[in-house]
Structure 1
Amino acid sequence: MIKHSPLKIADHLLDLGKPKFIGRDFLLQDPATVQKVDDLLINTLGDLRLFYPDFSSWISNIVIPGIITGERSVILEYRNDDLAGLAILKDSDIEKKLCCLQVMPKFQGSGIGLTLFEKSFDLLNTKNPLLSVSEEQRSNFLRIFKYYGFEFGETYYQHYRPLKNEISFNGLLK
């Protein structure tokens, strides 16, 4: 597993003022903020490269421009001044999607994931956002998907990676 320096992540958060929400207004407050948020997301979520090969490119070329247009946003959750988890959302006219939810290892099992799901539901104004997980991560999420009544959508063979499945819930991937 890829290891990321907590100090490096903390430095980015201090530079950003420990935001709880990153939306268009936050991102455009200073030209340097765009690169800081890009670096923060890539460094914080770097382990997801194992499941999504173009992950860093997705952050830089889809998420960041989506925040600028107002279609995407990021929720950050802290405990004791440490980043405990975050969620990346897409809220467009045609799609309400929980794109990414990550709880930092030392906070797993502490309820951070539930908090992020609830905040995501509020911001997306739905209890059933579209989302997908890799086949290897499915068992980690089944209990929470059952808890919220998420419905299986479809299994996509080789959607993101060769010989691997991606599984959607609450709708179909476009």
Structure 2
Amino acid sequence: MEYQQLAEILNDLSAINRERAKAYEEASFLNFIFNLELRGTFALLANQSRQNSFALRQHLEQLQSHIPVSKKPMPQLTFGYLFNLWKEMGVSFSGPNIYDMLKSSEAGEQAIQVIYSKAIEQLPAGELHYLLENQLRGLQNSHSVVKGILNQPQKMPQKMKKTI
């Protein structure tokens, strides 16, 4: 696979992870979330995406160091197929109440898994393929966490129980 295609995949996944992190950070500070455990969960999910993004950017820098280039590449101003697909999915990780936010987050977790699966399909076996598979497993665990909160209304905050 040529460098430009790999760079596009890495940039897209990094941008998607940054968006996911920002969405969960914003969700953890909303006024209607009084449950500290839920706020902590959202903070952990945001941190997971920050770590994913960092690892992807680090891999991209390693790729760039192996390519003989006379000058430093310009920062990415456009996005590729995976990022555009992500935008078309309309993922928001938000809602007017906790239940709707969790339902939206569950849909977002499913969407990011689809994006990662498409990225993995495009890659040959190797270090990057392995990195993305590991990140995908982490995202699958995150989806299970969000789904678990939704499936256990007794553990949801009181305000949430009334909205179901």
TM over 0.5: no
- TM-score normalized by the length of structure 2: 0.31
User: Is the helix fraction higher in 1 or 2?
Assistant: 2
- TM-score normalized by the length of structure 1: 0.30
